[in-house]
């Protein structure tokens, strides 16, 4: 039986507990939101199972955002860079682009599309063997090309390579600039992916991802580099010029020079946007002629080691690259031997003859 004193004691305890709870909530309020679900960001370790990382760019997506591409291998396309082929269509949507000389100082692009697939890509050109080395390291991508060198054809058939160009992929020609036929071929990226599935190339192969970081972190003490020019063989129509944009923390691309000597913005033909990239890599490699090739075709040694320059966050990093085998991912290291940490975003990779390292100028 409760006495009057016991009742008062119990009541006092209840009041004291209530006051304690009120004080805790007042001075240490809980985070706003649903208490039944942890409040975590996409980058939190507690939410890793909910995040999809683009293996080419390091960008983070929700499962719903990544649904269309998460189980599909990348699409690679050989894109023409002759002056008569400009402006090109689709490059504004790429995840990674490689630029290498095809012949005579004329560069050609190997563009990888994964997170976004445009409905118009081109003009499309032929492939060389050294581009195929890059196709193999990025998830054994499906490759669209029109034509091939003898060396590339042998590689396609023997390595093998998932060649949409040899697999009956559809393309069309349009010629509003009234140029030679080889500068007029285009294709729909979604149709190319569908053709790949019809050929049995569904599923994905693991891509060894690079290390990534947040913008403006990790390399604060590196030298500044707000402008970059790359002359692969010589200064002219195929020079690449880059200007750092601090607002977007990216490098805007220019291609060649106008009659007054000013760099020409590199524009996408469909969207009319200037191309820009979070990460710019200049990779130096050994270039050599192919013995007995009557067309003057070239070869680049992309398996091995060499030097590189990395441009990000308005900075430049001296780097080395390493690739042990054809199917392995090329890795980049800083001067301390640590793997480079790139910004999450698109990449442009210019592969320059090592003999012309002095023709890459930055300030």
What pLDDT, on a 0 to 100 scale, did the predictor assign at position 12? 52
User: Mean pLDDT score of the chain, rounded to an integer?
Assistant: 90
Contact 271, 265 (CB under 8 A): no
- Average pLDDT value for residue range 186-206: 96
Among 45-49, 172-176, 324-328, whose mean pLDDT is lowest? 45-49
Rounded-to-integer distance, Cα 184 and Cα 177, Å: 9
Could you tell me the maximum CA-CA distance found in the chain, to the nearest angstrom? 112
Token couple for 181: 């036929």
pLDDT band at 19 (very low <50, low <70, confident <90, very high): very low
Confidence (pLDDT) at 343: 98
Other CB atoms within a 10 A radius of the CB of residue 57 amount to: 25
Q: 24 pLDDT exceeds 60?
A: no
**Topology (CATH level 3) of domain 49-362:** YerB-like fold (3.50.90)
Q: What is the mean pLDDT of residues 145-163?
A: 97
Share of the chain above pLDDT 70, in %: 87
Residue 307: its pLDDT value, please? Answer: 98
**Stretch among 139-143, 204-208, 291-295, 301-305 having the lowest mean pLDDT:** 291-295
- The per-residue DSSP string of 76-122 comes to EEEE--SGGGPSPBSGGG-SEEEEEEEETTEEEEEEEESS---S-BB
Tell which residue, 193, 187, 191, 63, has the closest CA to residue 122: 187
Give the pLDDT band (50/70/90) at residue 124. very high
The secondary structure element, H or E, covering residue 154 is helix 150-158
For range 66-74, the mean pLDDT: 95
Q: What does 232-277 look like in DSSP terms, one character per residue? A: SSSSSTT-EEEEEETTTTEEEEEEEE-TTSPEEE-B-TTT-PBPEE
- pLDDT of residue 220 exceeding 80, the answer is yes
- Would residue 57 be called left, alpha or beta, if left means φ above 0 and alpha means ψ between -120 and 50 degrees? alpha
CA distance 345 to 135: 19
3-state DSSP assignment of residue 11:
helix
The structure's pTM equals 0.86
8 A C-beta contact, residue 117 and residue 191: no
The C-alpha atoms of residue 53 and residue 111 are separated, in whole angstroms, by 19
**H/E element holding 196?**
helix 189-198
In this prediction, residue 43 has a pLDDT band, given cuts at 50, 70 and 90, of very low
Asked if residue 168 has pLDDT above 50, the reply is yes
Lowest-confidence segment of 5-9, 55-59, 288-292, 338-342 by average pLDDT: 5-9
Region at 337 (left for phi over 0; alpha for psi -120 to 50; beta for the rest): left
The C-alpha angle 49, 50, 53, rounded to 5 degrees, equals 90
**Does 158 score more than 50 pLDDT?**
yes
- Per-position b or e across 243-270, b if 16+ CB within 10 A of its CB: bbeeeebbbbbbbbeeeeeebeebbbbb
Average pLDDT estimate for 229-254: 98
What local confidence, expressed as pLDDT, does residue 322 receive? 98
> Which residue did the predictor score with more confidence, 14 or 176?
176
Q: Tell me: pLDDT of 175 over 50.
A: yes
Say what the pLDDT of residue 251 is: 98
Going by pLDDT thresholds of 50, 70 and 90, the confidence category of residue 49 is: low
């Amino acid at each position: 039986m409760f006495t009057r004193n016991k009742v008062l004691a119990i009541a006092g305890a209840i009041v004291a507990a209530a006051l304690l709870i009120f004080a805790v909530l007042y001075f240490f309020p809980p985070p706003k939101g649903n208490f039944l679900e942890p409040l975590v960001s996409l980058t939190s370790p507690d939410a890793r199972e909910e995040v999809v990382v683009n293996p080419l760019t390091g960008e983070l997506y929700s499962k719903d955002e990544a649904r269309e591409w998460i189980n599909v291998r990348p699409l690679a396309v050989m894109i023409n860079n002759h002056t008569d082929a400009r402006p090109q269509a689709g490059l504004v949507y790429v995840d990674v682009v490689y630029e290498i000389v095809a012949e005579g100082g004329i560069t050609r692009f190997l563009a990888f599309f994964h997170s976004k697939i445009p409905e118009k890509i081109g003009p499309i050109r032929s492939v060389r063997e050294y581009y195929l080395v890059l196709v193999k390291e990025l998830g054994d991508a499906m490759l669209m090309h029109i034509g091939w060198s003898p060396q590339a054809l042998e590689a396609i058939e023997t390595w093998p390579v998932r060649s949409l160009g040899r697999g009956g992929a559809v393309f069309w020609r349009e010629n509003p600039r009234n140029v030679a036929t080889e500068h007029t071929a285009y294709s729909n990226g979604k149709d190319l992916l569908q053709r790949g599935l019809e050929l049995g190339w569904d599923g994905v192969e693991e891509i060894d991802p690079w290390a990534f970081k947040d913008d403006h972190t990790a390399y604060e003490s590196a030298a500044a580099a707000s402008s970059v020019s790359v002359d692969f063989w010589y200064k002219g129509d195929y020079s690449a010029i880059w200007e750092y944009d601090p607002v977007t923390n990216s490098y805007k691309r220019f291609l060649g020079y106008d009659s007054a000597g000013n760099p020409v913005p590199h524009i996408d033909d469909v969207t009319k946007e200037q191309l820009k990239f979070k990460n710019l890599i200049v990779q130096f490699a050994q270039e050599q002629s192919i013995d007995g090739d009557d067309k003057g075709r070239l070869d680049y040694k992309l398996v091995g080691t060499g030097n590189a320059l990395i441009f990000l966050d308005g900075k430049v990093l001296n780097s080395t690259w390493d690739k042990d085998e054809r199917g392995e991912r090329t890795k980049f290291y800083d001067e301390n031997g640590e793997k480079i940490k790139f910004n999450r975003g698109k990449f442009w990779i210019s592969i320059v003859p090592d003999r012309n390292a002095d023709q890459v100028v930055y300030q």
